[in-house]
A and B are shown apart, each in its own frame.
Chain A
Amino acid sequence: MATLEKGSYALDVREETHSSSLAITTQGLSKTYGSVTALRDLDLHVPKNSIFGFLGPNGAGKTTTIKLLLGLIKPTAGGGTLLGHDITMNSVEVRRRVGYLAQVPSYYTHMTARETLRFKIGFYYSGPRNALEERIEETLEMVELEDKADRPIKGFSGGERQRLGIAQAQVHRPDLLILDEPAANLDPMGRRDVLNIMEGLREHSTVFYSTHILDDVQRVSDTVAILNRGELLAQAPIEELLAGAGGVVYHMTIKGSHEDALSRISGQDWISGISVVRGDIRTTLQIGVTDEEAAEDELLRLALGEGGTIVTEFGRKRYELEDVFVDIVEGSNGGQ
């Protein structure tokens, strides 16, 4: 795997990854409206069967990207493929393989939930009717709308509309689900339900979803891309992002005296920096290292020494996605 450094985070370019293992690829995908650039030179690589979180603040270009992928708007430059089909030349075939949930889902309000799913699946399959009805029933059960299936949509709550949105997006079991802010505007229970459904879809489909709710991303995504002001800032497996990009850091909590441990550790040439936070009983060290292997082998042993030092916590520092996101986005904004 080659990496292109951009800022302090890696943009993954999986050269060895064949296009057949990618659900979405874009090359230089761009969209401008007059003098406003909504999206600039987007190179995206979404692996198949991943839950891919597409992050960015409001106005970053997430919805523009999704609409370009679906052929709802046309690119100013660049292009891409979805499941091997060109997004501009073969848009209908692309949409045959994809399920889509819009940021603000709209339906024909004279229909019930069941009629909506019947209408939607009719774009893909012609029958037999019993099998289609069975599929619709399964889908309604999946999103827990079976008891409201025959009520008009106009009486649905926000959460119910969102669940119906997921149902209509995947009633035909697409290879790729594109969800635009699927958990936005939902209460915590609604969000939990939607995330549970997304996790359940992982085994059948690739899920590409945009969001600015970082907790959700950290919970369900395996790969993440971060967009700001129309530019891709980072793209990596979430574990890589959370591991941190400013060097590896270990944290250690010592009960009682920490002076001896600190002197033993600080003498090593693979230590890049140590910060010390003293408490009444415990002291916490944040230890930056340049050699991860040496740190794993020796750091704890050095701290413990010949005995007498009590280490109550030790491990590699795990960043919260919020830290990473804010760091990347603020970095791209010039620290503003």
Chain B
Amino acid sequence: MASEKEFGAVDGSSILSGFWNMLRQEDRRWRNTRRWLVQSAVWLLLLNGIVVMVLYFDSNVQVGVEGATPGPVELFFILMGSMTPFGVMILTQNDIVMEKQSGTAEWVLSAPLSRESFILSKLVADSAWIVAVLVLLQGAAFDVILIAFGRQAVPVVNLLGGLAIQGLHLIFWITLSLVLGAFFKGRGPVLGIPIVLLAFQDLIAEFGRIYVPWIPLLLPKRLPELAALVAAGEPLYSAVPLMVATAWSIVFTLAAIWRFKREEF
């Protein structure tokens, strides 16, 4: 019989008690369920499928962002920026709410798992997989498609720069979903609030700026445009949207932890 003396105890004195074990579980949730494979296929079809169609039917599109019609780089990043946040909302809507409803949150929190670790493990696993599947894989496929159509590939550094901004964009939506999951008991607000924000952020920016001129700066709407610029080798005209999105992501994460620590199961 294996005795406790043979085992190495997990150090759980910090607020991150249980983090690595929970992170492995969250990672398995992506890997073992083939979720990553399904998402990879779906987004390849949705994003790069459209790019392929456009390149196939319109041989006049330009590589860059200038011109009367959008170039494939601009097209790709605008499509990615407008479509993938919906994917994030669908993929993360159950992260906390379903665990609260099903009792699995109560179960794992009866083990030496801190509530900080619970939230952060979801943030890290979701961010890593979503950025890998919805951003990096799609970016790599996009460059391959450009080459396949005889176009000039986007230089790797530029492409990675654009994809990094797009990654930050999706992390904004992931953290928003987490904080809503921590605050609400049902999926309705967790799904509905981000959809409304995404769909109406142009309207919010237009009306908001009448009263508060810097309101548009608080919204993530400029990030896809910045990502396209960086990927096309254009200079970044403002780092403020990046800083604001980073700040929001941190605030959302801290708020999610704060609320979740007060949750009763």
Chain A interfacial positions (CB closer than 8 Å to B): 67, 70-74, 92-93, 95-96, 98, 100, 102, 104-108, 110-111, 115, 119-120, 122-128, 131-132, 134-135, 138, 173
Docked-complex contact B110 and A74, CB < 8 angstroms? no
With contacts A73-B264, A108-B25 known, is A138 near B110, CB below 8 A?
no
Cα A160 to Cα B33 with chains together (Å): 23
Docked-complex contact B8 and A126, CB < 8 angstroms? yes
Minimum CB–CB distance for A96 against chain B, Å: 4
User: Which residues of B in the span 100-137 have a Cβ within 8 Å of any Cβ on A?
Assistant: 102-104, 106-107, 109-114
Q: Mark B6-26, 1 if CB is under 8 A from A, else 0.
A: 111110100001100100110
Minimum CB–CB distance for B8 against chain A, Å: 4
List the 8 shortest-distance A-B pairs measured between CB atoms, nearest first.
Answer: A106-B103, A125-B7, A122-B21, A100-B110, A73-B264, A123-B111, A96-B112, A135-B2
Chain B residues, Cβ within 8 Å of A132: 2, 7
Minimum CB–CB distance for A21 against chain B, Å: 21
Docked-complex contact B111 and A95, CB < 8 angstroms? yes
Taking A95-B109, A106-B106 as known contacts, 8 extra A-B pairs with beta carbons closer than 8 A to each other, sorted by chain A number, are A74-B264, A92-B113, A107-B107, A108-B104, A119-B24, A123-B111, A128-B6, A131-B2
Minimum CB–CB distance for B21 against chain A, Å: 4
Chain A residues, Cβ within 8 Å of B12: 92-93, 96, 123
Residue B53 is within 8 A (CB to CB) of chain A in the complex? no
Minimum CB–CB distance for A44 against chain B, Å: 19
Residue B32 is within 8 A (CB to CB) of chain A in the complex? yes
Docked-complex contact B2 and A70, CB < 8 angstroms? no
Chain A residues, Cβ within 8 Å of B107: 100, 102, 105-107
Docked-complex contact B29 and A108, CB < 8 angstroms? yes
Cα A110 to Cα B206 with chains together (Å): 45
Residue B58 is within 8 A (CB to CB) of chain A in the complex? no
Cα A239 to Cα B135 with chains together (Å): 67
Q: Mark B24-65, 1 if CB is under 8 A from A, else 0.
A: 110011001100000000000000000000000000000000
Docked-complex contact B103 and A122, CB < 8 angstroms? no
15 interchain pairs, CB-CB under 8 A: A70-B110, A73-B264, A92-B12, A92-B17, A95-B110, A105-B103, A106-B104, A111-B28, A119-B21, A119-B24, A124-B112, A125-B9, A126-B7, A127-B8, A131-B7
Cα A102 to Cα B2 with chains together (Å): 26
Chain A residues, Cβ within 8 Å of B29: 108, 110
Chain B residues, Cβ within 8 Å of A96: 12, 112
B112 touches which of A73, A92, A111, A135 (Cβ 8 Å) = A92
Residue B212 is within 8 A (CB to CB) of chain A in the complex? no
Minimum CB–CB distance for B265 against chain A, Å: 4
Chain A residues, Cβ within 8 Å of B9: 124-126
Residue B1 is within 8 A (CB to CB) of chain A in the complex? yes
Chain B residues, Cβ within 8 Å of A108: 25, 29, 104
Chain A residues, Cβ within 8 Å of B103: 102, 104-106
Chain A residues, Cβ within 8 Å of B66: none
Cα A195 to Cα B102 with chains together (Å): 26
B265 touches which of A72, A93, A107 (Cβ 8 Å) = A72
Cα A259 to Cα B149 with chains together (Å): 114
Docked-complex contact A95 and B8, CB < 8 angstroms? no
Cα A72 to Cα B264 with chains together (Å): 6
Cα A119 to Cα B12 with chains together (Å): 16
Chain B residues, Cβ within 8 Å of A120: 111
Q: Looking across the interface, which residue of chain B has its beta carbon closest to that of A169?
A: B110
Cα A95 to Cα B117 with chains together (Å): 15
Minimum CB–CB distance for B33 against chain A, Å: 5
Docked-complex contact A119 and B7, CB < 8 angstroms? no
Q: Looking across the interface, which residue of chain A has its beta carbon closest to that of B104?
A: A106
Cα A67 to Cα B184 with chains together (Å): 21
A131 touches which of B6, B113, B264 (Cβ 8 Å) = B6
Docked-complex contact A107 and B6, CB < 8 angstroms? no
Docked-complex contact B4 and A173, CB < 8 angstroms? yes
Chain B residues, Cβ within 8 Å of A134: 1-2
Minimum CB–CB distance for B69 against chain A, Å: 45
Minimum CB–CB distance for A181 against chain B, Å: 14
Docked-complex contact A67 and B265, CB < 8 angstroms? yes
Q: Mark B190-226, 1 if CB is under 8 A from A, else 0.
A: 0000000000000000000000000000000000000
Chain B residues, Cβ within 8 Å of A125: 4, 7-10
Docked-complex contact A122 and B2, CB < 8 angstroms? no
A102 touches which of B18, B33, B110 (Cβ 8 Å) = B110
Cα A49 to Cα B218 with chains together (Å): 59
Docked-complex contact B10 and A126, CB < 8 angstroms? yes
Cα A131 to Cα B1 with chains together (Å): 9
Cα A71 to Cα B110 with chains together (Å): 8
With contacts A67-B265, A106-B106, A110-B32 known, is A119 near B25, CB below 8 A?
yes
Q: Looking across the interface, which residue of chain B has its beta carbon closest to that of A31?
A: B264
Minimum CB–CB distance for A275 against chain B, Å: 50
Q: Looking across the interface, which residue of chain A has its beta carbon closest to that of B102?
A: A106
Q: Looking across the interface, which residue of chain A has its beta carbon closest to that of B32?
A: A110
Docked-complex contact B25 and A138, CB < 8 angstroms? no
Docked-complex contact A92 and B114, CB < 8 angstroms? yes
Minimum CB–CB distance for A190 against chain B, Å: 20
Chain B residues, Cβ within 8 Å of A138: 1-2
Cα A307 to Cα B122 with chains together (Å): 83
Cα A135 to Cα B7 with chains together (Å): 10
Chain A residues, Cβ within 8 Å of B28: 110-111, 115
